[in-house]
């Protein structure tokens, strides 16, 4: 069984079918929505994924990696080079990769995808998690782009997690258009909204637009877990 937990903003925990635990974009300390703080999470996860280096996505990854010997870090090569240089995270605890095909990490297949956004130390990405039972696409921070249709065709996601906050990413209507291109087989979940006033939106608009297009959508509460 695959489990997805939303911690607010873009922080998402995934428990793979084989029991491996993955934490994506772990901004917990400065996340007003998160019911979990870094010290509670640091020894729980086997893999930390960072989609890009903005503070609300890199978040507590340096602290978690430095204070726990358990997780490995999965991110773009250039972002890992920055973390190695600035935070002394050793290369043997990071998985060098870039946008492309799957990489097996602790029995779970991970892949980075294109994202239309900005970054300081590396290009932004999304990430695909494939545990053999379900394929989950976390889009990171991104605007709407036509190649989402290719991501859908290549990876065939069961669940998509899409930013809907509007000012820095897609808005609810654009994110619903992304769902139509990605064609998730099970569920679409909105993320990256209502953390602060700058990205305050009504997620019901996303739900209605997704359902109008023939797909299922779910608004999660921070700390809520969904089993697939």
What confidence tens digit (pLDDT) does each residue in 24-73 have? 999 999 999 999 999 988 899 999 999 999 999 999 999 999 999 999 99
Residue 204 covered by a domain? yes
159 in a domain, yes or no?
Answer: yes
Angle between helices 172-182 and 203-212 (to 10 degrees): 30
Question: How many CB atoms within 10 Å of residue 75?
Answer: 29
Is 109 a domain residue? yes
| 169 domain residue, yes or no | yes
- CATH number for 204: 3.60.15.10
Residue 20 lies in a domain: yes
Domain region containing 38: 3-221
Residue 78 lies in a domain: yes
Tell me what pLDDT residue 42 has. Answer: 85
Give the chain's domain count. 1
- Among 11, 25, 4, CA closest to 158: 4
Instruction: Determine the average pLDDT of the residues in 108-125.
Output: 97
Q: Decide if 226 is inside a domain.
A: no
110 is a domain residue: yes
**Percentage of residues in the chain with pLDDT exceeding 90?**
99
pTM: 0.98
């Amino acid at each position: 069984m695959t489990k997805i937990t939303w911690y607010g903003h873009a922080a998402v925990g995934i428990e793979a079918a084989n029991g491996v635990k993955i934490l994506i974009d772990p901004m917990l300390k400065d996340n007003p929505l998160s019911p979990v703080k870094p010290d509670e999470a640091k020894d729980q996860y086997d893999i930390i994924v960072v989609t890009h280096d903005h503070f609300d996505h890199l978040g507590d990854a340096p602290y978690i990696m430095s204070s726990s010997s358990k997780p490995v870090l999965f991110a773009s090569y250039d972002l890992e080079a920055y973390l190695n240089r600035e935070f002394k995270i050793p290369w043997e605890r990071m998985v060098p990769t870039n946008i492309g095909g799957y990489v097996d990490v602790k029995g779970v297949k991970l892949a980075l995808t294109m994202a239309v956004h900005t970054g300081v130390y590396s290009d932004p990405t999304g990430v695909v998690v494939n545990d053999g039972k379900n394929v989950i696409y976390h889009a990171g921070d991104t605007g709407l782009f036509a190649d989402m249709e290719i991501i859908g065709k290549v990876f065939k996601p069961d669940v998509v997690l899409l930013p809907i906050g509007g000012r820095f990413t897609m808005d609810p209507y654009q994110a619903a258009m992304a769902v139509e291109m990605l064609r998730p087989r099970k569920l679409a979940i909105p993320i990256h909204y209502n953390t602060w006033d700058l990205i305050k939106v009504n997620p019901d608009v996303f739900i209605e637009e997704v359902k109008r297009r023939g797909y299922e959508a779910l608004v999660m509460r921070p700390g809520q877990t969904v089993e697939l």
